[in-house]
């Protein structure tokens, strides 16, 4: 057999092996994360299965499209160089797919957690006045809820009129 055919066979074996290993690892360890993201365990398992199928389709599709080598391969060293380039690109695609999935699910989880929160993320700094009451000037304190307080005199004896 030609050196190029051996390179293709090695490329397919390594790429498919890496894809299966990464998919199983992500599926097993990602299920814990998905159970935290989705409230229902059945939904988390279904999304996990769909992500695995999509992962296989995208990655194995890329592996088969990127398999063709148009340049002639003269010896084993050139074949190994091309093989390492192709496997490296497969690993980059695997990493990019993983990053995208984690990013998208993390955003979804943050939004769901924010929506479910019963208290604000930070304590309130103050309160707005009731409807119909004008806002106090900048830097002044808000009046209590019952309305404005009576003004107290400055000294012990009020001035005579």
Residue 28 Cα distances to 24, 44, 50, angstroms: 6, 12, 13
Q: How confident is the model at residue 157, as a pLDDT?
A: 61
Q: How confident is the model at residue 155, as a pLDDT?
A: 54
Q: How confident is the model at residue 111, as a pLDDT?
A: 78
Q: How confident is the model at residue 143, as a pLDDT?
A: 57
Q: How confident is the model at residue 2, as a pLDDT?
A: 81
75 DSSP 8-state letter: S
HSE toward the beta carbon, residue 151, CA cutoff 13 A: 3
- Using DSSP, state whether 71 is helix, strand or coil: coil
The model's pTM is 0.58
Residue ranges of the chain with pLDDT lower than 70?
A: 117, 119-121, 136, 139-161
Q: How confident is the model at residue 136, as a pLDDT?
A: 65
């Amino acid at each position: 057999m030609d050196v190029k055919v051996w390179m293709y066979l090695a490329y397919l074996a390594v790429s498919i092996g890496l894809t299966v290993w990464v998919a199983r690892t992500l599926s097993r360890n990602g299920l814990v994360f998905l159970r935290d993201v989705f409230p229902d365990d059945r939904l988390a398992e279904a999304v996990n299965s769909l992500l695995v199928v999509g992962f296989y389709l995208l990655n194995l599709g890329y592996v088969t499209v990127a398999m063709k080598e148009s340049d002639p391969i003269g010896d084993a060293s050139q074949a190994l160089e091309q093989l390492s380039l192709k496997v490296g690109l497969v690993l980059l695609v695997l990493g990019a797919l993983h990053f995208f999935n984690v990013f998208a699910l993390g955003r979804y989880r943050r939004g769901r957690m924010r929506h479910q929160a019963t208290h604000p993320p930070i304590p309130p700094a103050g309160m707005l006045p009731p409807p119909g009451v004008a806002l106090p000037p900048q830097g002044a304190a808000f009046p209590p809820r019952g309305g404005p307080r009576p003004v107290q005199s400055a000294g012990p004896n009020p001035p005579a009129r």
